[in-house]
C-alpha cells in the first residue's frame, strides 16, 4: 500500500466507490497516525476496507534482529522482505550541540545489496540483488518513527516542545544498503512521501541523499526542485586512487563528477557534502589531503571525513588520530571546510551491510 503516491491512492479510493477526501484521511492514517490495519480505519466504508484488505498490505517489513549500542546512541534493525531478502536500517540519536536541537536520524537502505563494489563497504562486497520499492523504503522510517515517538512519550520532556519543533524522527539519510540514484524513481518517490505535509512531514532540508557519483542522475536531480542535501562519496582526489576502491570511477571519473557537482550547485544553490572515508595507507596522507584541497578549492562544499568502519572481508583499517588531524588541517590550509565524523554503533555492526553479512553468514 505504501508504494502508492498520494494521487494514485486518491484514484484508487474513488475507483472503489468512496469520496476523494477519504483518500486524504487514509494517507494521514498510514503516515501521520502510523496505523497498520485497515480495520482501524472506520472512516472508510466497509466495502472499501474489505477491498483494500483483499488487494493490499500496509507494510511488508519483518523485523528479524534489533540491537542498541552500549552508549544508547544507535539502534540497528535487520528486516526480512517478503521474498526473503535482508535489509538494514539504523536509528542514530544526537544530543543538542549548541546550535541544534535533539536529533534522531534514520539511515535507510534503497536496494538489497549494491552493484557498485566499493571495496571498503560490506554491502558492496555482497553484490546486487534488487531495488527496494517506495513502500519498502518508507516503511523503514515509519518503523523507527514508532520507536522515536515512544521515547518522546516516556521522556520527562515529551510533552513540551517549542513552536515548530518536530519530535520523533527529525532527519532521514539515504546512506544505507544500495545506491539511491541507481533506484532513482523509487528513491525520489519515497522522499516525496516522507516530506508530504499530511504524512510524516520531514523537512526536505533534513533529508540527505548519498551517491557514489552517478553523473547523469546528479544532473537530473538538480532539476527536481527538491532542496535536499546531496552527499557525494569521493574518497580520493585522483582517478588512479579512486578507481582502486570505487569501480564507478572508471565510468564516471573525477573530472566529470566534479563538473556535475558544480552544475548541481549552480542550479540549486545548495552546498554539497563530499564523503571521504579515511582508509589507512590508502588515501589518508597529507599529500592526498593537499590534492583534495586543490580539487575542491572554490566549490561550495563541506567534506565529511569518516574513519573507516572495518569489515570482515575488507582490507582497510582506521587511520591514527594524528593522521586524521593532519589531514583535516591540510584541508583547512586550502580553505576547504571539513568535519571528522566518528561512526556510531560499531559494537552493533552499524556499518552499512555488516549486520546482514553476519546474520546471513550464520555468525
d(CA 177, CA 212): 12
Cα 215 vs. chain centroid, distance in angstroms? 19
- Cβ 289 vs Cβ 327: under 8 Å: yes
Catalytic residue of the set 107, 121, 323, 352: 352
- Cβ 167 vs Cβ 148: under 8 Å: yes
- Cβ 94 vs Cβ 107: under 8 Å: no
Q: Is 54 one of the catalytic residues?
A: no
Catalytic residue of the set 10, 88, 179, 275: 88
Q: Is 121 one of the catalytic residues?
A: no
d(CA 238, CA 242): 6
**For the chain, how long is the longest CA-to-CA vector?**
69
Active-site amino acid positions:
88, 352
Amino acid at each position: 500500500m505504501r508504494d502508492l503516491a498520494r494521487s494514485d491512492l486518491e484514484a484508487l479510493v474513488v475507483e472503489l466507490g468512496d469520496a476523494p477526501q477519504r483518500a486524504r484521511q487514509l494517507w494521514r492514517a498510514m503516515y501521520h497516525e502510523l496505523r497498520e490495519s485497515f480495520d482501524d480505519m472506520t472512516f472508510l466504508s466497509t466495502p472499501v476496507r474489505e477491498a483494500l484488505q483483499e488487494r493490499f498490505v500496509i507494510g511488508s517489513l519483518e523485523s528479524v534482529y534489533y540491537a542498541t549500542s552500549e552508549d544508547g546512541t544507535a539502534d540497528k534493525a535487520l528486516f526480512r522482505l517478503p521474498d526473503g531478502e535482508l535489509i538494514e536500517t539504523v536509528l542514530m540519536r544526537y544530543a543538542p550541540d549548541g546550535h541544534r536541537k535533539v536529533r534522531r536520524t534514520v539511515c535507510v537502505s534503497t536496494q538489497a545489496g549494491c552493484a557498485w563494489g566499493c571495496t571498503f563497504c560490506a554491502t558492496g562486497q555482497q553484490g546486487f540483488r534488487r531495488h527496494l520499492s517506495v513502500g519498502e523504503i518508507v516503511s523503514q522510517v515509519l518503523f523507527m518513527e514508532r520507536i522515536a515517538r515512544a521515547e518522546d512519550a516516556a521522556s520527562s520532556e515529551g510533552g513540551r516542545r517549542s513552536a515548530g519543533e518536530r519530535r520523533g524522527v527529525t532527519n532521514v539519510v539515504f546512506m544505507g544498503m544500495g545506491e539511491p540514484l541507481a533506484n532513482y524513481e523509487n528513491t525520489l518517490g519515497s522522499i516525496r512521501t516522507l516530506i508530504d505535509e499530511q504524512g510524516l512531514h520531514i523537512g526536505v532540508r533534513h533529508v540527505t541523499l548519498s551517491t557514489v557519483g552517478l553523473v547523469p542522475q546528479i544532473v537530473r536531480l538538480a532539476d527536481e526542485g527538491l532542496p535536499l542535501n546531496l552527499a557525494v562519496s569521493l574518497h580520493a582526489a585522483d582517478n588512479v586512487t579512486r578507481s582502486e576502491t570505487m569501480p564507478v570511477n572508471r565510468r564516471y571519473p573525477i573530472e566529470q563528477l566534479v563538473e556535475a557537482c558544480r552544475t548541481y550547485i549552480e542550479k540549486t544553490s545548495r552546498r554539497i557534502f563530499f564523503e571521504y572515508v579515511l582508509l589507512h595507507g590508502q588515501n589518508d596522507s597529507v599529500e592526498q589531503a593537499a590534492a583534495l584541497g586543490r580539487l575542491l578549492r572554490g566549490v561550495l562544499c563541506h567534506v565529511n571525513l569518516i574513519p573507516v568502519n572495518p569489515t570482515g572481508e575488507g582490507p582497510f583499517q582506521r587511520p591514527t588520530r594524528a593522521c586524521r588531524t593532519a589531514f583535516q588541517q591540510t584541508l583547512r590550509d586550502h580553505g576547504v571546510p571539513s568535519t571528522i565524523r566518528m561512526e556510531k554503533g560499531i559494537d552493533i555492526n552499524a556499518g552499512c551491510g555488516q549486520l546482514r553479512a553476519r546474520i546471513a553468514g550464520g555468525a
